[in-house]
A and B are shown apart, each in its own frame.
Chain A
Protein backbone atom coordinates (compact mmCIF):
# COMPACT_ATOMS: atom_id res chain seq x y z
CA UNK A 1 0.00 0.00 0.00
CA UNK A 2 1.56 3.24 -1.02
CA UNK A 3 -1.39 5.52 -1.43
CA UNK A 4 -0.38 8.62 0.44
CA UNK A 5 1.47 10.16 -2.51
CA UNK A 6 -1.73 9.55 -4.43
CA UNK A 7 -3.69 11.18 -1.65
CA UNK A 8 -1.37 14.15 -1.52
CA UNK A 9 -1.13 15.06 -5.16
CA UNK A 10 1.73 17.51 -4.79
CA UNK A 11 3.70 17.44 -1.62
CA UNK A 12 5.01 20.74 -0.37
CA UNK A 13 8.38 20.90 -2.00
CA UNK A 14 10.18 24.19 -1.43
CA UNK A 15 13.49 22.44 -1.48
CA UNK A 16 15.69 22.21 1.56
CA UNK A 17 16.50 19.30 3.81
CA UNK A 18 13.19 19.33 5.61
CA UNK A 19 11.16 19.11 2.44
CA UNK A 20 13.18 16.20 1.17
CA UNK A 21 12.86 14.39 4.48
CA UNK A 22 9.18 15.13 4.28
CA UNK A 23 8.98 13.79 0.77
CA UNK A 24 10.93 10.68 1.65
CA UNK A 25 8.56 9.99 4.49
CA UNK A 26 5.43 10.64 2.49
CA UNK A 27 6.59 8.35 -0.28
CA UNK A 28 7.70 5.61 2.08
CA UNK A 29 5.40 2.66 2.50
CA UNK A 30 4.80 3.55 6.17
CA UNK A 31 3.33 6.98 5.80
CA UNK A 32 -0.15 6.08 4.63
CA UNK A 33 -0.74 3.15 7.01
CA UNK A 34 0.48 5.36 9.86
CA UNK A 35 -2.00 8.04 8.91
CA UNK A 36 -4.77 5.47 8.88
CA UNK A 37 -3.64 4.02 12.19
CA UNK A 38 -3.88 7.49 13.61
CA UNK A 39 -7.39 7.94 12.26
CA UNK A 40 -8.80 4.51 13.03
CA UNK A 41 -6.99 4.28 16.35
CA UNK A 42 -8.87 7.38 17.42
CA UNK A 43 -12.14 6.64 15.73
CA UNK A 44 -12.59 3.24 17.33
CA UNK A 45 -12.44 4.38 20.97
CA UNK A 46 -14.76 7.23 20.03
CA UNK A 47 -17.07 4.71 18.42
CA UNK A 48 -16.92 2.65 21.61
CA UNK A 49 -18.00 5.59 23.71
CA UNK A 50 -20.81 6.21 21.28
CA UNK A 51 -21.74 2.53 21.41
CA UNK A 52 -21.93 2.52 25.18
CA UNK A 53 -24.27 5.48 24.92
CA UNK A 54 -26.29 3.73 22.20
CA UNK A 55 -26.47 0.60 24.29
CA UNK A 56 -27.75 2.46 27.33
CA UNK A 57 -30.25 4.57 25.45
CA UNK A 58 -31.29 1.70 23.24
CA UNK A 59 -31.92 -0.57 26.17
CA UNK A 60 -33.82 2.23 27.83
CA UNK A 61 -36.06 2.73 24.83
CA UNK A 62 -36.69 -0.99 24.56
CA UNK A 63 -37.74 -0.96 28.20
CA UNK A 64 -39.84 2.21 27.75
CA UNK A 65 -37.39 4.24 29.78
CA UNK A 66 -35.36 7.25 28.72
CA UNK A 67 -31.79 6.37 29.60
CA UNK A 68 -28.95 8.83 30.15
CA UNK A 69 -30.07 12.09 28.53
CA UNK A 70 -28.41 14.75 30.65
CA UNK A 71 -24.79 15.11 29.55
CA UNK A 72 -24.67 16.94 26.25
CA UNK A 73 -27.31 16.70 23.52
CA UNK A 74 -29.34 13.51 24.02
CA UNK A 75 -26.80 12.48 26.64
CA UNK A 76 -24.20 11.87 23.94
CA UNK A 77 -21.32 12.84 26.20
CA UNK A 78 -22.34 10.49 28.98
CA UNK A 79 -19.46 8.17 28.15
CA UNK A 80 -16.95 10.98 28.55
CA UNK A 81 -18.39 11.81 31.93
CA UNK A 82 -18.06 8.15 32.84
CA UNK A 83 -14.51 8.14 31.57
CA UNK A 84 -13.73 11.07 33.84
CA UNK A 85 -15.23 9.17 36.71
CA UNK A 86 -13.16 6.09 35.91
CA UNK A 87 -9.99 8.16 35.73
CA UNK A 88 -10.48 9.71 39.12
CA UNK A 89 -11.61 6.60 40.93
CA UNK A 90 -9.26 4.83 43.25
CA UNK A 91 -7.45 2.06 41.41
CA UNK A 92 -7.74 -0.79 43.87
CA UNK A 93 -5.38 -3.70 43.42
CA UNK A 94 -6.45 -6.37 45.89
CA UNK A 95 -3.65 -7.89 47.96
CA UNK A 96 -4.36 -11.45 46.92
CA UNK A 97 -3.92 -11.09 43.17
CA UNK A 98 -1.07 -12.00 40.89
CA UNK A 99 -0.01 -8.44 40.14
CA UNK A 100 1.68 -8.93 36.78
CA UNK A 101 -1.12 -10.91 35.19
CA UNK A 102 -3.71 -8.76 36.91
CA UNK A 103 -2.35 -5.67 35.19
CA UNK A 104 -1.69 -7.47 31.91
CA UNK A 105 -5.24 -8.76 31.44
CA UNK A 106 -6.97 -5.41 30.78
CA UNK A 107 -4.24 -4.47 28.29
CA UNK A 108 -4.74 -7.75 26.43
CA UNK A 109 -8.45 -7.03 26.38
CA UNK A 110 -7.96 -3.87 24.35
CA UNK A 111 -4.95 -4.47 22.12
CA UNK A 112 -5.99 -7.52 20.02
CA UNK A 113 -9.30 -6.08 18.81
CA UNK A 114 -7.61 -2.83 17.86
CA UNK A 115 -4.84 -4.70 16.03
CA UNK A 116 -7.38 -6.93 14.29
CA UNK A 117 -9.03 -3.84 12.83
CA UNK A 118 -5.83 -3.12 10.91
CA UNK A 119 -6.54 -6.00 8.55
CA UNK A 120 -10.03 -4.90 7.60
CA UNK A 121 -10.48 -3.03 4.32
CA UNK A 122 -12.48 0.15 4.85
CA UNK A 123 -12.38 1.18 1.22
CA UNK A 124 -10.61 0.52 -2.04
CA UNK A 125 -7.52 2.32 -0.82
CA UNK A 126 -8.39 2.66 2.83
CA UNK A 127 -6.56 -0.19 4.45
CA UNK A 128 -3.77 -0.35 6.95
CA UNK A 129 -2.32 -3.76 6.29
CA UNK A 130 -3.19 -5.40 3.00
CA UNK A 131 -2.06 -8.86 4.02
CA UNK A 132 -2.50 -11.77 1.63
CA UNK A 133 -3.70 -13.93 4.50
CA UNK A 134 -5.84 -11.14 5.90
CA UNK A 135 -8.60 -13.24 7.36
CA UNK A 136 -6.18 -15.62 9.05
CA UNK A 137 -4.21 -12.76 10.53
CA UNK A 138 -7.42 -11.19 11.72
CA UNK A 139 -8.59 -14.36 13.46
CA UNK A 140 -5.14 -15.06 14.85
CA UNK A 141 -4.96 -11.67 16.50
CA UNK A 142 -8.53 -11.32 17.64
CA UNK A 143 -8.59 -14.76 19.25
CA UNK A 144 -5.88 -13.52 21.61
CA UNK A 145 -8.74 -11.65 23.23
CA UNK A 146 -9.61 -14.81 25.15
CA UNK A 147 -6.40 -14.43 27.16
CA UNK A 148 -7.64 -11.24 28.74
CA UNK A 149 -10.66 -13.01 30.16
CA UNK A 150 -8.75 -16.10 31.17
CA UNK A 151 -5.88 -14.21 32.75
CA UNK A 152 -8.20 -11.71 34.38
CA UNK A 153 -10.15 -14.54 35.96
CA UNK A 154 -7.05 -16.44 36.96
CA UNK A 155 -5.02 -13.53 38.30
CA UNK A 156 -7.88 -12.26 40.43
CA UNK A 157 -7.41 -15.30 42.64
CA UNK A 158 -10.98 -15.54 43.83
CA UNK A 159 -13.92 -17.81 43.08
CA UNK A 160 -16.28 -15.97 40.81
CA UNK A 161 -13.64 -14.44 38.54
CA UNK A 162 -12.02 -17.84 38.15
CA UNK A 163 -15.32 -19.48 37.25
CA UNK A 164 -16.05 -16.69 34.81
CA UNK A 165 -12.61 -16.98 33.27
CA UNK A 166 -12.86 -20.75 32.89
CA UNK A 167 -16.29 -20.52 31.33
CA UNK A 168 -15.15 -17.83 28.96
CA UNK A 169 -12.17 -19.85 27.84
CA UNK A 170 -14.27 -22.91 27.09
CA UNK A 171 -16.92 -20.85 25.37
CA UNK A 172 -14.61 -18.80 23.20
CA UNK A 173 -12.59 -21.80 22.10
CA UNK A 174 -15.72 -23.78 21.26
CA UNK A 175 -17.31 -21.07 19.20
CA UNK A 176 -14.11 -20.08 17.49
CA UNK A 177 -14.30 -23.35 15.57
CA UNK A 178 -17.79 -22.76 14.21
CA UNK A 179 -16.75 -19.19 13.43
CA UNK A 180 -13.69 -20.34 11.54
CA UNK A 181 -15.47 -23.06 9.60
CA UNK A 182 -18.24 -20.75 8.43
CA UNK A 183 -15.65 -18.18 7.38
CA UNK A 184 -13.86 -20.96 5.51
CA UNK A 185 -16.91 -21.45 3.30
CA UNK A 186 -16.77 -17.78 2.36
CA UNK A 187 -13.11 -18.03 1.49
CA UNK A 188 -13.88 -21.03 -0.68
CA UNK A 189 -16.41 -19.01 -2.65
CA UNK A 190 -14.11 -16.01 -2.94
CA UNK A 191 -11.11 -18.16 -3.69
CA UNK A 192 -8.79 -15.93 -1.70
CA UNK A 193 -7.74 -15.24 1.86
CA UNK A 194 -7.20 -11.57 1.11
CA UNK A 195 -10.07 -9.61 2.63
CA UNK A 196 -9.94 -7.05 -0.17
CA UNK A 197 -10.52 -9.89 -2.67
CA UNK A 198 -13.41 -11.18 -0.60
CA UNK A 199 -14.99 -7.73 -0.73
CA UNK A 200 -14.43 -7.24 -4.44
CA UNK A 201 -15.78 -10.69 -5.11
CA UNK A 202 -19.07 -9.59 -3.62
CA UNK A 203 -19.43 -6.63 -5.95
CA UNK A 204 -18.80 -8.02 -9.41
CA UNK A 205 -21.89 -10.12 -9.97
CA UNK A 206 -22.22 -13.86 -10.21
CA UNK A 207 -19.80 -15.80 -12.27
CA UNK A 208 -21.00 -19.19 -13.44
CA UNK A 209 -18.66 -21.37 -15.50
CA UNK A 210 -16.46 -18.39 -16.20
CA UNK A 211 -19.33 -16.27 -17.52
CA UNK A 212 -20.44 -13.21 -15.64
CA UNK A 213 -24.18 -12.89 -15.35
CA UNK A 214 -25.95 -9.59 -15.92
CA UNK A 215 -25.77 -6.49 -13.77
CA UNK A 216 -28.79 -7.65 -11.77
CA UNK A 217 -26.69 -10.37 -10.21
CA UNK A 218 -24.66 -7.70 -8.46
CA UNK A 219 -27.59 -7.11 -6.17
CA UNK A 220 -27.56 -10.76 -5.14
CA UNK A 221 -23.83 -10.94 -4.83
CA UNK A 222 -23.39 -10.38 -1.12
CA UNK A 223 -22.31 -13.47 0.68
CA UNK A 224 -25.24 -13.20 3.04
CA UNK A 225 -27.34 -14.20 0.03
CA UNK A 226 -24.95 -16.84 -1.24
CA UNK A 227 -24.11 -18.16 2.22
CA UNK A 228 -27.23 -17.75 4.36
CA UNK A 229 -26.52 -20.62 6.76
CA UNK A 230 -22.89 -19.68 7.05
CA UNK A 231 -23.88 -16.11 7.83
CA UNK A 232 -26.24 -17.19 10.60
CA UNK A 233 -23.65 -19.50 12.13
CA UNK A 234 -21.00 -16.79 11.89
CA UNK A 235 -23.26 -14.26 13.53
CA UNK A 236 -24.26 -16.56 16.39
CA UNK A 237 -20.67 -17.63 16.94
CA UNK A 238 -19.68 -13.97 16.79
CA UNK A 239 -22.08 -13.19 19.60
CA UNK A 240 -20.50 -15.96 21.64
CA UNK A 241 -16.98 -14.82 20.76
CA UNK A 242 -17.60 -11.38 22.13
CA UNK A 243 -19.35 -12.68 25.25
CA UNK A 244 -22.46 -10.79 24.39
CA UNK A 245 -25.96 -11.71 25.38
CA UNK A 246 -27.38 -14.31 25.12
CA UNK A 247 -23.94 -15.86 25.65
CA UNK A 248 -22.57 -13.61 28.37
CA UNK A 249 -21.55 -16.57 30.53
CA UNK A 250 -18.24 -15.07 31.67
CA UNK A 251 -19.92 -12.23 33.50
CA UNK A 252 -23.44 -13.54 34.13
CA UNK A 253 -24.24 -11.08 36.93
CA UNK A 254 -26.90 -13.18 38.57
CA UNK A 255 -24.58 -16.17 38.92
CA UNK A 256 -21.06 -14.82 39.10
CA UNK A 257 -21.30 -11.28 40.48
CA UNK A 258 -19.42 -9.75 37.54
CA UNK A 259 -17.41 -12.76 36.40
CA UNK A 260 -13.83 -12.24 35.38
CA UNK A 261 -13.75 -8.53 36.15
CA UNK A 262 -15.27 -8.75 39.62
CA UNK A 263 -11.98 -7.71 41.23
CA UNK A 264 -11.26 -4.87 38.84
CA UNK A 265 -11.97 -1.24 39.44
CA UNK A 266 -11.51 2.19 37.88
CA UNK A 267 -9.55 2.39 34.64
CA UNK A 268 -8.68 -1.31 34.51
CA UNK A 269 -12.35 -2.13 34.54
CA UNK A 270 -12.94 0.51 31.90
CA UNK A 271 -10.33 -1.16 29.70
CA UNK A 272 -12.21 -4.46 29.89
CA UNK A 273 -15.29 -2.54 28.90
CA UNK A 274 -13.48 -0.91 26.00
CA UNK A 275 -12.11 -4.29 24.95
CA UNK A 276 -15.53 -5.90 24.93
CA UNK A 277 -16.98 -3.21 22.73
CA UNK A 278 -13.93 -3.12 20.49
CA UNK A 279 -14.29 -6.88 20.02
CA UNK A 280 -17.90 -6.26 19.07
CA UNK A 281 -16.76 -3.78 16.47
CA UNK A 282 -14.26 -6.31 15.12
CA UNK A 283 -16.88 -9.01 14.73
CA UNK A 284 -19.28 -6.57 13.09
CA UNK A 285 -16.57 -5.31 10.77
CA UNK A 286 -15.63 -8.86 9.86
CA UNK A 287 -19.24 -9.82 9.24
CA UNK A 288 -19.64 -6.76 7.06
CA UNK A 289 -16.53 -7.66 5.12
CA UNK A 290 -17.27 -11.34 4.73
CA UNK A 291 -21.03 -11.29 4.24
CA UNK A 292 -22.32 -7.79 3.63
CA UNK A 293 -20.03 -6.73 0.83
CA UNK A 294 -17.63 -4.61 2.88
CA UNK A 295 -17.30 -1.10 1.48
CA UNK A 296 -19.16 -1.91 -1.74
CA UNK A 297 -22.77 -1.14 -2.48
CA UNK A 298 -23.74 -3.19 -5.52
CA UNK A 299 -21.33 -1.18 -7.64
CA UNK A 300 -23.23 2.00 -6.78
CA UNK A 301 -20.28 3.17 -4.70
CA UNK A 302 -18.28 3.86 -7.86
CA UNK A 303 -21.15 5.70 -9.49
CA UNK A 304 -21.51 7.79 -6.36
CA UNK A 305 -17.78 8.36 -6.10
CA UNK A 306 -17.65 9.52 -9.73
CA UNK A 307 -20.52 11.88 -9.15
CA UNK A 308 -18.98 13.38 -6.05
CA UNK A 309 -15.54 13.46 -7.62
CA UNK A 310 -16.79 15.51 -10.54
CA UNK A 311 -17.85 18.24 -8.15
CA UNK A 312 -14.74 17.93 -5.98
CA UNK A 313 -12.21 20.78 -6.08
CA UNK A 314 -9.20 20.53 -8.33
CA UNK A 315 -6.39 18.42 -7.01
CA UNK A 316 -4.09 20.79 -5.19
CA UNK A 317 -2.02 20.03 -2.19
CA UNK A 318 -4.54 17.36 -1.27
CA UNK A 319 -6.03 15.08 -3.89
CA UNK A 320 -9.66 15.60 -3.04
CA UNK A 321 -10.94 12.98 -5.43
CA UNK A 322 -9.06 10.30 -3.53
CA UNK A 323 -10.12 11.65 -0.17
CA UNK A 324 -13.75 11.77 -1.23
CA UNK A 325 -13.62 8.23 -2.48
CA UNK A 326 -12.02 7.02 0.75
CA UNK A 327 -14.56 8.80 2.90
CA UNK A 328 -17.43 7.49 0.80
CA UNK A 329 -16.22 3.91 0.94
CA UNK A 330 -15.54 3.92 4.63
CA UNK A 331 -18.87 5.68 5.12
CA UNK A 332 -20.65 2.77 3.44
CA UNK A 333 -18.58 0.34 5.45
CA UNK A 334 -19.29 1.98 8.77
CA UNK A 335 -22.99 2.34 8.05
CA UNK A 336 -23.21 -1.41 7.61
CA UNK A 337 -21.07 -2.02 10.67
CA UNK A 338 -23.16 0.31 12.79
CA UNK A 339 -26.35 -1.38 11.66
CA UNK A 340 -24.87 -4.67 12.77
CA UNK A 341 -23.78 -3.20 16.07
CA UNK A 342 -27.35 -2.11 16.61
CA UNK A 343 -28.37 -5.74 16.12
CA UNK A 344 -25.90 -6.67 18.85
CA UNK A 345 -27.53 -4.22 21.23
CA UNK A 346 -31.00 -5.16 20.12
CA UNK A 347 -30.41 -8.88 20.72
CA UNK A 348 -28.89 -8.23 24.11
CA UNK A 349 -32.03 -6.56 25.35
CA UNK A 350 -34.34 -9.15 23.85
CA UNK A 351 -33.01 -12.59 24.68
CA UNK A 352 -32.45 -14.23 28.05
CA UNK A 353 -29.10 -15.84 28.84
CA UNK A 354 -28.40 -19.43 27.89
CA UNK A 355 -27.62 -21.98 30.55
CA UNK A 356 -24.03 -23.11 30.45
CA UNK A 357 -24.76 -26.67 29.25
CA UNK A 358 -27.17 -25.33 26.62
CA UNK A 359 -24.43 -23.05 25.44
CA UNK A 360 -21.96 -25.87 25.05
CA UNK A 361 -24.52 -28.11 23.38
CA UNK A 362 -25.44 -25.38 20.92
CA UNK A 363 -21.81 -24.78 20.10
CA UNK A 364 -20.60 -28.33 19.65
CA UNK A 365 -23.68 -30.26 18.64
CA UNK A 366 -25.58 -27.77 16.54
CA UNK A 367 -23.41 -25.01 15.14
CA UNK A 368 -20.28 -27.02 14.46
CA UNK A 369 -22.02 -29.85 12.49
CA UNK A 370 -24.14 -27.28 10.74
CA UNK A 371 -21.15 -25.24 9.65
CA UNK A 372 -19.28 -28.38 8.57
CA UNK A 373 -22.25 -29.55 6.52
CA UNK A 374 -22.53 -26.13 4.98
CA UNK A 375 -18.84 -26.17 4.18
CA UNK A 376 -19.25 -29.48 2.36
CA UNK A 377 -22.27 -28.15 0.49
CA UNK A 378 -20.36 -25.02 -0.49
CA UNK A 379 -17.48 -27.12 -1.69
CA UNK A 380 -19.81 -29.12 -3.93
CA UNK A 381 -21.50 -25.95 -5.16
CA UNK A 382 -18.22 -24.24 -5.95
CA UNK A 383 -17.01 -27.38 -7.71
CA UNK A 384 -20.08 -27.51 -9.95
CA UNK A 385 -20.42 -23.83 -10.73
CA UNK A 386 -16.83 -22.88 -11.21
Chain B
Protein backbone atom coordinates (compact mmCIF):
# COMPACT_ATOMS: atom_id res chain seq x y z
CA UNK B 1 0.00 0.00 0.00
CA UNK B 2 1.18 3.37 -0.93
CA UNK B 3 1.17 5.78 1.84
CA UNK B 4 2.64 9.14 2.58
CA UNK B 5 4.23 10.04 5.83
CA UNK B 6 3.38 13.60 6.64
CA UNK B 7 6.07 14.96 8.81
CA UNK B 8 4.81 17.38 11.34
CA UNK B 9 6.94 20.45 11.65
CA UNK B 10 8.83 20.59 14.90
CA UNK B 11 7.46 23.34 17.08
CA UNK B 12 9.88 26.08 17.91
CA UNK B 13 10.67 26.90 21.50
CA UNK B 14 8.47 29.99 21.39
CA UNK B 15 5.58 27.92 20.12
CA UNK B 16 6.01 25.30 22.80
CA UNK B 17 6.05 28.03 25.39
CA UNK B 18 2.46 29.01 24.44
CA UNK B 19 2.88 32.44 25.95
CA UNK B 20 3.58 34.27 22.65
CA UNK B 21 0.47 32.82 21.05
CA UNK B 22 -1.54 33.59 24.16
CA UNK B 23 -0.42 37.20 23.94
CA UNK B 24 -1.29 37.22 20.26
CA UNK B 25 -4.75 35.94 21.05
CA UNK B 26 -5.18 38.52 23.76
CA UNK B 27 -4.12 41.27 21.37
CA UNK B 28 -6.80 40.04 19.01
CA UNK B 29 -9.56 40.07 21.59
CA UNK B 30 -8.40 43.47 22.79
CA UNK B 31 -8.85 44.73 19.27
CA UNK B 32 -12.45 43.60 19.37
CA UNK B 33 -12.87 44.97 22.88
CA UNK B 34 -12.01 48.49 21.81
CA UNK B 35 -14.32 48.15 18.84
CA UNK B 36 -11.76 47.71 16.10
CA UNK B 37 -12.84 44.17 15.30
CA UNK B 38 -14.87 45.33 12.33
CA UNK B 39 -18.25 44.11 13.49
CA UNK B 40 -18.85 46.32 16.49
CA UNK B 41 -22.26 47.92 16.68
CA UNK B 42 -24.09 45.32 14.63
CA UNK B 43 -26.45 44.68 17.54
CA UNK B 44 -29.83 46.34 17.01
CA UNK B 45 -31.24 47.96 20.17
CA UNK B 46 -34.61 46.41 19.54
CA UNK B 47 -37.43 48.34 21.12
CA UNK B 48 -35.82 51.67 20.21
CA UNK B 49 -34.33 50.69 16.89
CA UNK B 50 -36.46 48.67 14.56
CA UNK B 51 -35.87 46.60 11.55
CA UNK B 52 -36.45 48.24 8.17
CA UNK B 53 -39.15 45.94 6.86
CA UNK B 54 -38.80 44.92 3.24
CA UNK B 55 -41.79 45.60 0.98
CA UNK B 56 -42.60 41.91 0.74
CA UNK B 57 -42.77 41.45 4.49
CA UNK B 58 -45.78 39.44 5.65
CA UNK B 59 -47.03 40.50 9.05
CA UNK B 60 -50.42 40.05 10.65
CA UNK B 61 -53.23 39.56 8.09
CA UNK B 62 -55.72 42.42 8.29
CA UNK B 63 -58.99 43.57 6.73
CA UNK B 64 -59.24 46.78 4.73
CA UNK B 65 -62.05 49.19 3.90
CA UNK B 66 -62.75 51.13 0.76
CA UNK B 67 -62.63 54.91 0.46
CA UNK B 68 -66.20 55.19 1.69
CA UNK B 69 -65.29 53.37 4.85
CA UNK B 70 -67.16 50.20 3.93
CA UNK B 71 -65.53 46.87 4.63
CA UNK B 72 -64.52 45.25 1.36
CA UNK B 73 -64.93 41.68 2.59
CA UNK B 74 -68.04 39.97 1.23
CA UNK B 75 -67.77 36.93 3.48
CA UNK B 76 -67.19 34.56 0.59
CA UNK B 77 -65.16 32.34 2.93
CA UNK B 78 -62.52 31.61 0.34
CA UNK B 79 -59.77 32.65 2.73
CA UNK B 80 -61.25 30.53 5.47
CA UNK B 81 -61.23 27.65 3.03
CA UNK B 82 -57.67 28.16 1.79
CA UNK B 83 -56.03 28.89 5.11
CA UNK B 84 -53.65 25.98 5.74
CA UNK B 85 -53.76 25.96 9.55
CA UNK B 86 -57.45 26.98 9.59
CA UNK B 87 -56.79 30.12 11.49
CA UNK B 88 -59.75 32.02 10.06
CA UNK B 89 -63.34 31.57 11.08
CA UNK B 90 -66.12 33.54 9.39
CA UNK B 91 -69.83 33.78 10.08
CA UNK B 92 -71.54 35.67 7.25
CA UNK B 93 -74.62 37.84 7.46
CA UNK B 94 -76.91 39.30 4.82
CA UNK B 95 -76.83 43.02 4.31
CA UNK B 96 -78.85 45.54 2.38
CA UNK B 97 -77.14 47.24 -0.58
CA UNK B 98 -75.31 46.31 -3.75
CA UNK B 99 -73.41 43.61 -1.89
CA UNK B 100 -75.31 40.70 -0.45
CA UNK B 101 -73.08 39.56 2.38
CA UNK B 102 -70.64 40.82 4.93
CA UNK B 103 -68.94 39.01 7.80
CA UNK B 104 -70.85 38.95 11.06
CA UNK B 105 -67.83 37.40 12.75
CA UNK B 106 -64.34 37.43 11.26
CA UNK B 107 -61.75 35.93 13.59
CA UNK B 108 -58.15 35.12 12.88
CA UNK B 109 -56.41 33.07 15.52
CA UNK B 110 -52.88 34.51 15.55
CA UNK B 111 -51.66 31.50 17.46
CA UNK B 112 -52.54 29.37 14.43
CA UNK B 113 -51.73 31.75 11.61
CA UNK B 114 -48.47 30.93 9.87
CA UNK B 115 -48.32 34.20 7.94
CA UNK B 116 -48.32 32.39 4.62
CA UNK B 117 -50.31 35.08 2.84
CA UNK B 118 -52.64 32.66 1.04
CA UNK B 119 -55.65 34.53 2.33
CA UNK B 120 -54.39 37.71 0.71
CA UNK B 121 -53.73 35.91 -2.54
CA UNK B 122 -57.06 34.14 -2.74
CA UNK B 123 -59.33 37.00 -1.79
CA UNK B 124 -61.42 38.01 -4.86
CA UNK B 125 -62.30 41.35 -3.31
CA UNK B 126 -58.79 42.42 -2.27
CA UNK B 127 -60.23 42.74 1.21
CA UNK B 128 -57.53 41.03 3.24
CA UNK B 129 -53.91 42.17 3.27
CA UNK B 130 -50.79 41.12 5.09
CA UNK B 131 -49.80 44.10 7.25
CA UNK B 132 -46.37 45.05 8.54
CA UNK B 133 -47.41 44.41 12.11
CA UNK B 134 -45.33 41.75 13.84
CA UNK B 135 -45.37 42.64 17.52
CA UNK B 136 -48.20 40.47 18.68
CA UNK B 137 -48.39 39.34 22.24
CA UNK B 138 -50.99 38.59 24.81
CA UNK B 139 -51.44 36.89 28.13
CA UNK B 140 -54.21 34.47 27.19
CA UNK B 141 -55.08 32.43 24.15
CA UNK B 142 -58.34 34.33 23.76
CA UNK B 143 -56.47 37.61 23.57
CA UNK B 144 -54.63 36.36 20.52
CA UNK B 145 -57.78 35.62 18.54
CA UNK B 146 -58.09 38.87 16.61
CA UNK B 147 -61.70 39.87 15.97
CA UNK B 148 -63.11 41.81 13.05
CA UNK B 149 -62.73 45.22 14.69
CA UNK B 150 -59.11 44.64 15.54
CA UNK B 151 -58.41 43.37 12.02
CA UNK B 152 -59.99 46.47 10.48
CA UNK B 153 -57.98 48.59 12.88
CA UNK B 154 -54.74 47.05 11.74
CA UNK B 155 -55.90 47.28 8.13
CA UNK B 156 -56.49 50.99 8.56
CA UNK B 157 -52.79 51.48 9.22
CA UNK B 158 -51.92 50.21 5.78
CA UNK B 159 -51.29 52.91 3.24
CA UNK B 160 -50.81 52.57 -0.47
CA UNK B 161 -47.12 52.05 0.25
CA UNK B 162 -47.95 49.07 2.41
CA UNK B 163 -49.44 47.16 -0.50
CA UNK B 164 -53.05 48.33 -0.66
CA UNK B 165 -53.29 49.32 -4.32
CA UNK B 166 -56.07 51.87 -4.17
CA UNK B 167 -58.95 52.30 -1.88
CA UNK B 168 -61.45 52.38 -4.74
CA UNK B 169 -65.06 53.11 -3.95
CA UNK B 170 -66.23 49.63 -4.42
CA UNK B 171 -69.89 50.15 -3.62
CA UNK B 172 -70.15 53.15 -5.88
CA UNK B 173 -68.48 51.24 -8.69
CA UNK B 174 -70.73 48.22 -8.18
CA UNK B 175 -73.86 50.34 -8.08
CA UNK B 176 -72.81 51.99 -11.36
CA UNK B 177 -72.12 48.66 -13.06
CA UNK B 178 -75.32 47.11 -11.81
CA UNK B 179 -77.24 50.17 -12.98
CA UNK B 180 -75.75 49.78 -16.47
CA UNK B 181 -76.80 46.13 -16.54
CA UNK B 182 -80.24 46.96 -15.20
CA UNK B 183 -79.85 44.99 -12.07
CA UNK B 184 -81.16 46.48 -8.85
CA UNK B 185 -79.21 46.09 -5.73
CA UNK B 186 -80.66 43.76 -3.13
Contact = CB atoms under 8 A, between A and B. Distances in A.
A63 B40 CA distance: 9
A65 B33 contact: no
Given A64-B39, A66-B43, A351 B22 contact: yes
A346 B29 contact: yes
Interface residues of A, number: 13
B42 interface: yes
Nearest to A66: B43
B26 A62 contact: no
A58 B25 contact: no
B26 A61 contact: no
Contacts of A351: 22, 25
B20 to A, nearest CB: 13
Nearest to B30: A346
B25 A346 contact: no
A350 B39 CA distance: 17
Contacts of B37: 64
Contacts of A62: 29, 32-33
B35 interface: yes
Interface string B145-182: 00000000000000000000000000000000000000
Interface in B89-123: none
B26 A347 contact: yes
Interface in A331-381: 346-347, 349-351
Most buried by A among B32, B34, B40: B32
Nearest to B32: A62
A350 B37 CA distance: 14
B89 to A, nearest CB: 40
Nearest to B19: A232
Interface residues of B, number: 17
Most buried by A among B28, B34, B39, B43: B43
A62 B58 CA distance: 35
Interface in A73-118: none
Contact of B26 (A58, A64, A65, A346): A346
Interface in A12-50: none
Nearest to B27: A350
A347 to B, nearest CB: 7
B43 to A, nearest CB: 5
A58 B33 contact: yes
Contacts of A350: 22, 25-26, 28-29
A349 B43 CA distance: 19
B29 A65 contact: no
B38 to A, nearest CB: 8
Contacts of A66: 43, 45
A7 to B, nearest CB: 40
B35 A61 contact: yes
B72 to A, nearest CB: 43
Interface in A197-234: 232
Contacts of B45: 66
A344 to B, nearest CB: 12
A56 B29 CA distance: 15
Interface of A: 58, 61-66, 232, 346-347, 349-351
24 contacts: A61-B34, A61-B35, A61-B40, A62-B29, A62-B32, A62-B33, A63-B32, A64-B32, A64-B39, A64-B43, A65-B43, A66-B43, A66-B45, A232-B19, A346-B26, A346-B29, A346-B30, A346-B33, A347-B26, A349-B29, A350-B25, A350-B26, A350-B28, A351-B25
Interface of B: 19, 22, 25-26, 28-30, 32-35, 37, 39-40, 42-43, 45
Given A62-B32, A64-B42, 9 more contacts: A61-B33, A61-B35, A62-B29, A62-B33, A64-B37, A346-B30, A349-B29, A350-B22, A350-B28
In the A-B complex, the 9 residue pairs with the smallest Cβ-Cβ separation, listed nearest first, are A64-B39, A350-B29, A66-B43, A62-B29, A350-B25, A61-B33, A62-B33, A350-B26, A62-B32
